[in-house]
Amino acid sequence: MTAHFPFDNSYATLPERFFTRQSPVPVATPKLIAVNTALSDRLGLTLPSDEAALAALFAGNDLPEGAAPLAQVYAGHQFGGWSPQLGDGRAVMLGEVIAPDGARFDIQLKGAGQTPYSRMGDGRAWLGPVLREYIISEAMAALGIPTTRALAAVETGEVVLREGRMPGAIFTRVASSHIRVGTFQYFAARNDTDALQSLLDHTIARHYPEAEGPSGLLGAVIVAQAKLIAAWMGVGFIHGVMNTDNMTLSGETIDYGPCAFMDIYHPEMVFSSIDQFGRYAYANQPQIAAWNLAQLATALLPLMPDRDAAIEDFTEAVNGFAARFDTEWHRVLRAKLGLETEEDGDAALAFDLLNRMAQGGADFTQTFRALSSDTPQDAGKVFAAPVAFDPWLVEYHARLGRESRTDADRITGMRAVNPALIPRNHRVEEAIQAAVSGDYAPFHRLNSALADPFTDHPEIEDLQRAPTEGERVKQTFCGT
Ligand code: AMP
Ligand code: MG
């Protein structure tokens, strides 16, 4: 069977200055690592059955019929500093497919070779970041968090030079689009109002058909990002590199570089080796999202006939992000605590627990999972010093006394939002190390376990366990 992708390439019909037509640069000896057949079915793809053909397809050596490969251009603020031109420096979009349910998705090969936007880079990726993105983006999807997805991973058979000679790999990413805050910034910085208008129309048609004009789009993205950041924080996720080029208009998580799930809770937790000042620390994420949204608002200004009035409206809209985020975050926290009704003190109760967790060195995931049982006192065992937890439990019991749901229903609800399993850094690193030595079993085992994160499976207890001090991974690196 030959590959068939139901292509309908709309980005490729935008003006030529949105991208450069660019084919993937073929690789030496592609070898299949993984293909996500559940996702492929969801997209309505027909895939070849033999491995060599699959490897050639997902390496970019064979293009599926109807592909219109291109590299997108964008700009962005990286760590607050302006980069007037970025773009797909190591990624090539094959095109967009329309899934059987009518939804539109980009299919992109990451690590597909140099493009006009590669600057000094080689356009390639090594195995480590490819497997990281595969594992973590699929874990996020299983956790119910909006995200780009992993369709496939292949080895290229070529060496990539990083700290050493690393095995090259290519990741196939699926996204509802790759339109970023930085895409708008690119055209705004050039005063290219025609391009901005085309991008606005394209983005609204694609993601928010009910939105009206620039302010409608801005409002919709503010809501989507408030929900997204609250969902991240609800599972202890730290993106690590929330540059404006890594923030989508769709509200999907994108660009899994130095991201990480916290083990021990601390609001100032940072993993990224390049985030020296903690700009993208766990608890800073809402403020950074608001900062990025202010950049989006600025980029939309050239489309507004009355600039002064627009500045006033957009400022108010962006300032509204904080309250919107709080609403979403409090909703997430109430669900994590199993509170169905809403009381004024609920957020304070949740923050009190978080403070105690930070002081008591408690594992984020395990604390909430232990609370999701008929023995919530077990959560105390997650604390280095359980005394810090006990007074909180008294308050919590009092609060639960004012709920009308049965304990059984509450526990079922809590177990559906407080995962038993997250992609812990040390397990992700372990899977990568094994793969580099040619053993993909830990990668496949971790992936399949993460597909069902809300159920306890005794046979994967080792993957659920928090790392010992010696196992703990404290730093993560950019996905280059
Ligand atoms: P990121 O930090 O992954 O969001 O990437 C920032 C920018 O650097 C994007 O424009 C990427 O396309 C580019 N980039 C990252 N790695 C490479 C590479 N190996 N070769 C070329 N460009 C790259
Ligand atoms: Mg990026």
pLDDT in tens, 104-124: 999 999 999 999 999 999 999
At residue 477 the predicted structure's pLDDT band, cuts being 50, 70 and 90, is confident
Residue whose CB lies within 8 A of the most ligand 1 atoms, among 72, 74, 90, for a mutation test: 90
At residue 479 the predicted structure's pLDDT band, cuts being 50, 70 and 90, is low
Supply the residue whose CA is at minimum distance from atom 3 of ligand 1.
479
What is the C-alpha to C-alpha distance for residues 391 and 371, in angstroms, rounded to an integer? 15
Structure tokens at 15: 């003006």
Q: Is the beta carbon of 157 within 6 A of some atom in ligand 1?
A: no
Q: What is the pTM of this model?
A: 0.98
Instruction: Give pLDDT tens digits for 366-388.
Output: 999 999 999 999 999 999 877 78
Per-residue pLDDT at 384: 86
Alpha helices in 154-282 (DSSP H): 181-189, 193-207, 213-234
Instruction: Yes or no: say if 62 and 32 are a contact pair by the CB < 8 Å rule.
Output: no
Structure tokens at 446: 């971790």
Instruction: Give pLDDT tens digits for 212-265.
Output: 999 999 999 999 999 999 999 999 999 999 999 999 999 999 999 999 999 999
Point out the ligand nearest to the CA of residue 89: 1
Average of per-residue pLDDT across 359-367:
96
What is the C-alpha to C-alpha distance for residues 45 and 57, in angstroms, rounded to an integer? 12
At residue 101 the predicted structure's pLDDT band, cuts being 50, 70 and 90, is very high
At residue 480 the predicted structure's pLDDT band, cuts being 50, 70 and 90, is low
What mean pLDDT, rounded, does the chain reach?
97
pLDDT of 433 over the 80 cut: yes
Q: Is the beta carbon of 133 within 6 A of some atom in ligand 1?
A: no
Please, which residues bridge with residue 150 across strands?
A: 173
Q: Is the beta carbon of 25 within 6 A of some atom in ligand 1?
A: no
245 is catalytic: yes
Which are the contacts of 143, defined by CB distance < 8 A and separation ≥ 6? Answer: 235, 419, 422, 453
Per-residue pLDDT at 386: 79
Catalytic residue among 62, 88, 106, 245: 245
Q: Which atom of ligand 1 is nearest to the CA of 87?
A: 10
Instruction: Give pLDDT tens digits for 257-273.
Output: 999 999 999 999 999 99
**Residue 255 Cα, ligand 2 centroid: separation in angstroms?**
5
Alpha helices in 208-261 (DSSP H): 213-234
Q: Is the beta carbon of 129 within 6 A of some atom in ligand 1?
A: no
Instruction: Give pLDDT tens digits for 44-67.
Output: 999 999 999 999 999 999 999 999
What is the C-alpha to C-alpha distance for residues 352 and 343, in angstroms, rounded to an integer? 15
Q: Is the beta carbon of 328 within 6 A of some atom in ligand 1?
A: no
Per-residue pLDDT at 387: 78
Supply the residue whose CA is at minimum distance from atom 23 of ligand 1.
89
Q: Is the beta carbon of 272 within 6 A of some atom in ligand 1?
A: no
Per-residue pLDDT at 164: 93
Instruction: Yes or no: say if 125 and 90 are a contact pair by the CB < 8 Å rule.
Output: yes
